[in-house]
Homo-oligomer: A and B are copies of this chain.
Amino acid sequence: MIYQRVALIGLGLIASSMAHAMRAGGLAGEIVGHAKSAETRDVALKLFCDRVTETAAEAVQGADLVVLAVPVGAMAEIAAEIAPHLKPGAVVTDVGSVKQAVVDAVAPHLGPGVHFIPGHPLAGTEYSGPQSGFATLFQNRWWLLTPLPDTNAVEIARLRRFLEAMGANVDEMDVARHDLVLAVVSHTPHLIAYTMVGVADHMRRVSAQEVIKYSASGFRDFTRIAASDPTMWRDVFLTNKEAVLDILGRFAEELFSLQRAIRMGDGEQLHAYFTRTREIRRGIIEAGQDTAAPDFGRAARPKSEG
């Protein structure tokens, strides 16, 4: 057992998966949960919480670890509500996809006796809600921590041990760098996937039927990315605005350059570009972040993996 009492604020995919993983590994003495919706609380009590509470303030009382697992836009309000009820010495972490906005929203509310260690698990599925969690979601996934300069090293080490016990690989990085890296590897790709799916949706000359039927030829992978939780992603784009707009600007420049090459019939430019992008892919396979199996994302996937 690493923490005696853990409070989960917000009971969606990430929090429910954490609870299942904690139970599987015997990592917490008691798991207390809070969600705004009574229905969600009922599901959580049945599936993975020892106790649920009607308010966040109640949930955090006596908790050694408090996990803020609500959309980034809701963090400030929750932090203000729970702050007076936190146990001295408690660790507060979060699972938001952007970090500067969470630090700005949460840190000002917390007293000096509380250890705030912002975090972000790079794990997810296209499903949301308390029934979508499973114990192995974090297995071999990165969990980034962005501790502030003056954070207690002993508590950082304890939180790392806890996350590693759930199967995650933990890395620490600077808040601003986190937001830029994620804008490149996650936020902008998601926006682009949403956009492409939106274009297909609007195409009146191509029926939705045909788009769906022949989706395996590339489009399907976009729809998987574009099916993630709308509220979470709205907040990501509103709160990591600067980095996302920067990367989007670069994306538009590159796209227009390729579009021009198509219009002008410049096959050399296209070929050189497509050859370069193969290299990054090779790097990912060599780094063990994907398999080299010649499958193009077609295979049926197990419910959870190692």
Contacts and interface: CB of A to CB of B under 8 A. Distances in A.
A227 B251 CA distance: 18
A257 to B, nearest CB: 9
Contacts of A273: 194, 198
Contacts of A73: 267
Given A191-B258, A234-B274, A212 B284 contact: yes
A252 to B, nearest CB: 7
A294 B215 CA distance: 19
A39 interface: no
A168 to B, nearest CB: 12
A222 B221 CA distance: 8
Residue from A201, A234, A274, A289 whose CB has the most chain B CB atoms within 10 Å: A274
B201 A280 contact: yes
A283 B144 CA distance: 34
Contacts of A241: 262-263, 265
B289 A300 contact: no
Interface in A96-154: 122-127, 132, 134, 141-142, 144
Give this chain's copy count. 2
Interface residues of A, number: 112
A152 to B, nearest CB: 26
A80 interface: no
A284 B199 contact: no
Interface stretch (A3-11, A53-61, A155-163, A180-188): A180-188
A237 B270 contact: yes
B217 A275 contact: no
Contacts of A83: none
A262 B245 contact: yes
B297 A299 contact: no
Contact of A290 (B125, B211, B220, B262): B220
Top 3 closest pairs, chain A to chain B, by CB: A125-B294, A230-B274, A227-B281
Given A238-B270, A252-B256, 7 more contacts: A132-B294, A189-B196, A189-B222, A201-B280, A224-B297, A226-B274, A227-B277
20 contacts: A124-B217, A125-B295, A142-B214, A184-B211, A189-B218, A194-B274, A194-B277, A212-B287, A220-B290, A223-B280, A227-B281, A230-B274, A233-B274, A234-B267, A235-B267, A241-B262, A245-B263, A252-B255, A299-B299, A299-B301
